[in-house]
Amino acid sequence: MNYEVQQFKSEFFKALAHPMRIRILELLSEGEKNVNELQAILGSEGSAVSQQLAVLRAKNVVNSVKEGTTVIYSLRDPLIKELLGVAKRIFDNHLVSAITMLENMRSGD
């Protein structure tokens, strides 16, 4: 059982291992969006956005629902928003530590 959980975690984090996919998830945590909306916000080509959405769909991170000719994307699990927030707090902690270290180095000169 442990192996299956570890495998799931590994695959899940692989799905997050791209800056555009993270940004897409951040945008989807604000609400549902279609490819055109994501493309406009990201300032990226539709094919690049579609490729990243395909990865997120394949890893079951996002849902897609077709409405006419438009596909609407949403987070599969609302906890992803919380996970992204925790990741940002971890980044902020590292940043604060790095700034403190630099300030200590400067004051030591």
Mean pLDDT for 46-73 is 94
The count of domains in the chain is: 1
Determine the Cα–Cα distance for residues 63 and 53; give it in Å rounded to an integer: 10
Bigger pLDDT: 85 or 94?
85
Higher-confidence residue: 32 or 45?
32
Q: What is the pTM of this model?
A: 0.82
Whether 25 has a pLDDT exceeding 70, the answer reads yes
User: Residue 87: which CATH number?
Assistant: 1.10.10.10
Closest CA to 79 of 21, 8, 25: 25
SS3 19: helix
- Mean pLDDT, residues 54-80 taken together: 95
Cβ(15)–Cβ(21) below 8 Å: yes
Amino acid at 107: S
Question: Confidence band (pLDDT; 50, 70, 90) for 84?
Answer: very high
Identify the domain containing residue 56 by its residue range: 2-108
Taking the mean position of all CA atoms in its chain, how far away is CA 48? 15
